[in-house]
Amino acid sequence: MRMVVLGLGYLGATHAACMAELGHEVLGVEVIPEKRDSLARGEVPFYEPGLPELLKKHIDSGQLQVSGSYAEAADFADVFFIAVGTPQKKGEYSADLQYVDAALEELVPLLTHDALILGKSTVPVGTAARLADRADELAKDVSIEIAWNPEFLREGFAIQDTLHPDRLVLGAFQGGVAETVSREIYSSLLDAGIPFIVTDPPTAELVKTSANAFLATKISFINAIAEVCDAAGADVRAIANAIGYDARIGRRFLNAGLGFGGGCLPKDIRAFMARAGELGAAEALSFLREVDSVNMRRRTRMVELAREVCGGSLLGKRAAILGAAFKPESDDVRDSPALNVAGQIQLQGASVSVYDPKAMENSRRIFPTLDYATGALKACEGADVVLILTEWQEFIELDPVKTGQVVRKPNIIDGRMCLEAERWEDAGWAYRT
């Protein structure tokens, strides 16, 4: 089937490449010229394991093309995916829908044939209905159907999550072709037994925001328990393991530590609260404010812990920050807890040396005043405290003896609770979480 993907960021580039992998003929549209040019050469301008290979394969075969032209897109197909970003508005909790709106405003007047527009971007409930009304106004003698087909991929596992999702969700208005067309698009996934939930658009929009809100709540729940564990001298990891055996609870997303960041969970829970407020249901989601607070407290606490192990003041001390990406297997530093902590430690007078296997360039761009080291051991040279803030495998495997030889003081703070405490303590380190 021929289809267009509008927006080639983390979500769109992955979706476009995966649709080509499913055998479709795909045109990806990206309005930022540098991004577009590198994708057209088969190069991915961000780190996502496996994506460069998949993209190159389908660019080379011609199955996937990249363009900057909405006119070309309008002629190319009658199925369109909207995969543009929906960041948090500056100074507000709500989602900024300008890119979603712009995609529709540009595309629809150019359409000379009936079309189905499937939204993949994470949007506030009610967006599909609003866009459907607007599409009717913009359409010139053609019929435009809008439906929502939310995406649940995780960065770092984007291809796996797209080609082997836990479920597919479609929110369609009655009387359209969205379900039939979607069944064709995803036929090989449906044949493989992937559950397909067909519902109305508001429900589909809410499935996505609810999923992210639940995940964020799960993380903040275990981090709240971690606060109690600190006060009571208990072990939060053992608690996570023990309660995780209960199938009703499950062990995943119960890793306590520095908490969640990135381009999705933080802004999605805030946009969800804002939308619930607009709908007069603010009270229902008031707990998400606490989820956000618990999460942000983890960052402050990490800075306080660093100050404590440095004898009460960070002034004139050296801190090694291992990890800058918001999670491993990603170079994404949007709302990165690690960089947030690095910045706060620097503000308190310490010199900070940051190392991350993949996120150095992105970090430098948003935090140019931090020092960046060329390797983990380099970052640790002369350090009074080493903080592990992203659980890259490279850091989990770090040699405590060798690392101990380069630091000034053997203090390690395991911000992701990912190290074997005993290994570090046996090598003479003071280990804290």
Annotated catalytic residues are 264
DSSP string computed for 221-249: HHHHHHHHHHHHT--HHHHHHHHHTSTTT
Q: Residue 344 corresponds to which amino acid? A: Q
Q: Are strands 168-172 and 144-148 parallel, antiparallel or unpaired?
A: antiparallel
Partners of 277 in beta bridges: none
Could you say which of 264, 271, 324, 385 contacts ligand UGA (CB under 6 A)? 264
What are the phi and psi torsion angles at 209 (to 5°)?
-65, -35
Please identify, using beta-carbon distances, which residue of 63 and 255 lies nearer to ligand UGA: 255
Q: How far is the CB of 253 from ligand UGA (least distance, A)?
A: 4
Per CB under 6 A, contacts with ligand UGA among 265-284 are 265, 268
Residue 149 interacts with ligand UGA (CB under 6 A): yes or no: no
According to CB under 6 A, which one of 260, 272, 424, 431 is a site residue for ligand UGA? 260
Could you tell me the smallest distance in angstroms from the CB atom of residue 151 to ligand UGA?
6
Nearer to ligand UGA, 196 or 253 (CB): 253
* List 253, 277, 348, 381, residue binding ligand UGA (CB under 6 A): 253
Least Cβ distance, residue 258 to ligand UGA (angstroms): 7
Within residues 312-341, the interface with ligand UGA by CB under 6 A covers 326-327
**Candidate list 255, 346, 362, 411; residue touching ligand UGA; CB under 6 A:** 255
Determine the Cα angle at 170 with ends 150 and 127, to 5°: 60
- Can you tell me which residue has the tokens 């070309």? 72
CB 239 within 8 A of CB 302: no
Token match 């618990």: residue?
294
Q: Is 154 in the site for ligand UGA (CB under 6 A)?
A: yes
Q: At 27, which helix (H) or strand (E)? A: strand 25-29
> Would you count residue 152 as binding ligand UGA (CB under 6 A)?
yes
Distance of closest approach, residue 260 Cβ to ligand UGA, in angstroms: 3
If binding is defined by CB under 6 A, does position 217 make contact with ligand UGA? no
Can residue 51 be called a binding residue for ligand UGA (CB under 6 A)?
A: no
Query: What whole-number distance in Å separates Cα of residue 423 and Cα of residue 387?
Result: 16
Measured from the CB atom, is 339 or 345 closer to ligand UGA?
339
155 binds ligand UGA (CB under 6 A): yes
3-state secondary structure 307-375: HHHCCCCCCCCEEEEECCCCCCCCCCCCCCHHHHHHHHHHHCCCEEEEECCCCHHHHHHHCCCCEECCC
Pick the closer one to ligand UGA by CB: 291 or 314: 291
In the list 215, 303, 306, 359, the residue contacting ligand UGA (rule: CB under 6 A) is 215
At residue 13, φ and ψ (nearest 5 deg) are -65, -40
Binding residues vs ligand UGA (CB under 6 A): 122, 151-155, 212, 215, 219, 253-255, 257, 259-262, 264-265, 268, 326-327
